[in-house]
Amino acid sequence: MFDFMSEIDKYRNKRSFSKVNSQDLKSVLKNELTKIGDDPEKLVLDVVYKNEEILIVYRNNLDLEDKYGNFFIELKVITSQGVLKDRVRLAAKYTMREVIEILEIQVFGDNQHRGYGSVLLTALIDIALENSIKEISGWISYADEDHFDKLDYFYKKHGFAVFWLDNKRHVHKAADIIWINDRY
């Protein structure tokens, strides 16, 4: 059983691509932008050229009627190998009209340490600045205990305060994170 589980982990952490004509990345970009643009729940926020990859940053609203509900900021990653199939996204929700809570940043396996989390968090901060959001909050889970130091650095690099908690009182939450809009 253990061998089976380690095999699943090995494949889950590998990057998976759809096949495209790698000679014409501009056409692939145009096609992916059209697909996103044709979906009324999605809005392209930016196109970023990073490390020989093209990143389409877009917002995915789960409910068009609910302006202040849950949403995702997602990346469509285009490379010479194809379009990344793996999910790379930030899940968030409005807890009040002026507060956004980060629910989760999903960047797994071989997609980690490529700057995708920074692109996602920067897009969220841009949304906050453009919409007069007072703060962005969230928390760090004990499930991430093996890389607390990296998470602390990551959030502070993006202007968040990190408040580490006494683990005797908090079963799941290791730290609170908060970003305050200094323009507000």
Confidence of residue 9 (pLDDT cuts 50, 70, 90): low
Contact (Cβ atoms closer than 8 angstroms) between residue 38 and residue 58: no
The domain ranges of the chain are 2-133
pLDDT score of 6: 56
Prediction pTM value = 0.86
DSSP helix/strand/coil, 6: helix
Lowest-pLDDT range, 25-34, 81-90, 128-137? 81-90
- Asked if pLDDT for residue 47 goes beyond 70, the answer is yes
Q: What percent of the chain has pLDDT over 70?
A: 86
Q: Which of 101, 72, 103, 77 is nearest to 89 (CA)?
A: 72
pLDDT score of 109: 84
The torsion angles phi and psi of 124, rounded to 5 degrees, stand at -65, -45
Distance in angstroms (rounded) separating the CA atoms of residues 102 and 1? 35
